[in-house]
């Protein structure tokens, strides 16, 4: 009887702890772009689980049950650890700086789908720098929303031998939005679409992806990204201290609207490999990006709110990335 009573006390304590943690109230009504078009819900209406250590994260993230997984603290490893995501999950970081994944790499499998990553800080050691070392790696499934996350990077140099990237979305993944996030301090930024220099029609049209209201700062190349095969709607992003911005290859179709490129190599705004690619820009700064622009070859299939470039810059600088409290956790209106 005493053991049962103690178990009940411990369970009650856990429930109170979960209830009292401050973290963003995830409302899919604030979702935009292709993630919304694909009806992404994550762990909506599922069990709320507090996670403070790596074994618990591995256990809770890998199944198919609807769950809201609250990261409450720093989950860290001295070496790279891959955590496979299942389905129907919202993984959200607590406020107060208790939302850090250090050397923890989130990857998908063929069973993965319907995932929301919210208010997380991704850190990694500079010596984890291989070509396949990528902290968020999405290669299959539909319905992904990455929002208000920070990929903070580290010091880098041109000759440091690093090949790692901050994020990958490709192969047959589809219906993705990356919004209101920060990508910084890295040699390579983002890679999208199946990663091969040889054309493979099996991957043509994937992913369909929205990239909006993010900040890219001090990334040498691939910010906002290297894009292959898919359809990419990129708007209201702020890109600073870059050498190469867009890179297009293997039939990538890009619609760029009202983005801001600053303090970088203006000649490197767009690196178009011209192998059946399509790049259209409307209203971005500087106006010299227009020399790379072609007539629009496709239209987005959803409604969206487009800010003027000056408004977008101010908004992105203030609100993009993971937040320490609810006061700064905002969505574009």
Q: What is the pTM of this model?
A: 0.94
Question: Does residue 332 fall inside a structural domain?
Answer: no
Q: Flag whether 73 is in a domain.
A: yes
Residue 270 lies in a domain: no
Any domain includes 89:
yes
- pLDDT for 36-95, tens place per residue? 999 999 999 999 999 999 999 999 999 999 999 999 999 999 999 999 999 999 999 999
What stretch of H or E contains 146?
Answer: strand 142-147
Flag whether 280 is in a domain: no
Angle at 169 between CA 84 and CA 188, to 5 degrees: 105
Q: Let me know if residue 135 belongs to a domain.
A: yes
What's the CATH code of the domain at 107? 2.160.20.10
Query: In this predicted structure, what is the pLDDT of residue 17?
Result: 61
d(CA 50, CA 257): 39
- Per-residue pLDDT, 20: 84
> Active site residue: 59, 222, 228, 291, which one?
222
Domain contains 72: yes
Residue-wise DSSP of 227-289: EESSEEEEES-EEEEES--EEEETT-EEEEES-EEESS-GGGSEEE--SS-EEEEES-BSGGG
**222 included as an active-site residue:** yes
The answer to whether position 20 is within a domain reads no
Kindly tell me if the per-residue pLDDT of 268 is higher than 50.
yes
- The residue behind tokens 């903070």 is 152
Task: Round the average pLDDT of the chain to a whole number and report it.
Answer: 94
At residue 164, the 3 state secondary structure works out as coil
Containing structural domain, residue 165: 35-231
Tell me the mean pLDDT in the region 222-227. 98
Q: Which is more confidently placed, 89 or 1?
A: 89
User: Residue 179: which of 316, 68, 284 has the closest Cα?
Assistant: 316
Number of domains in the chain: 1
Give the rounded distance of the alpha carbon of 261 from its chain centre: 19
Nearest partner of 270 among 39, 283, 256, judged by Cα? 256
**Is residue 14 pLDDT above 90, yes or no?**
no
């Amino acid at each position: 009887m005493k053991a049962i009573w103690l178990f009940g006390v411990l369970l009650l304590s856990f429930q109170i702890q979960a209830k009292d943690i401050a973290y963003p109230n995830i409302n899919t009504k604030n979702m935009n772009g292709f993630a919304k078009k694909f009806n992404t819900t994550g762990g909506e209406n599922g069990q709320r689980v507090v996670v403070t250590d790596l074994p618990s994260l591995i256990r809770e993230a890998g199944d198919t049950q609807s769950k809201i997984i609250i990261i409450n603290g720093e989950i860290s490893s001295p070496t790279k650890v891959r955590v496979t995501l299942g389905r129907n999950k919202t993984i959200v970081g607590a406020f107060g700086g208790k939302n850090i994944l250090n050397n923890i790499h989130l990857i998908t499998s063929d069973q993965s789908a319907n995932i929301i990553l919210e208010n997380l800080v991704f850190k990694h050691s500079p010596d984890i720098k291989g070509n396949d070392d990528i902290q968020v790696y999405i290669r299959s499934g539909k319905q992904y929303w990455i929002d208000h996350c920070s990929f903070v990077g580290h010091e880098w140099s041109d000759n440091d031998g690093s090949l790692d990237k901050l994020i990958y979305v490709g192969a047959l993944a589809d219906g993705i939005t990356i919004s209101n996030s920060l990508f910084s301090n890295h040699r390579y930024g983002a890679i999208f679409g199946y990663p091969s220099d040889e054309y493979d029609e099996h991957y043509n049209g994937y992913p369909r992806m929205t990239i909006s209201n993010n900040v890219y700062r001090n990334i040498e190349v691939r910010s906002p990204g290297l894009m292959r095969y898919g359809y990419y709607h990129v708007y209201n992003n702020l890109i600073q201290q870059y050498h190469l911005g867009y890179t297009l290859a293997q039939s990538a179709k890009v619609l760029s609207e009202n983005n801001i490129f600053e303090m970088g190599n203006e000649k490197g705004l767009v690196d178009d490999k011209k192998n059946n690619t399509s790049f259209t820009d409307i209203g971005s700064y500087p106006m010299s990006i227009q020399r790379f622009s072609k007539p629009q070859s496709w239209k987005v299939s959803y409604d969206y709110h487009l800010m003027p470039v000056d408004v977008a810059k101010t908004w992105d600088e203030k609100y993009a990335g993971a937040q320490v409290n609810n006061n700064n956790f905002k969505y574009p209106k």
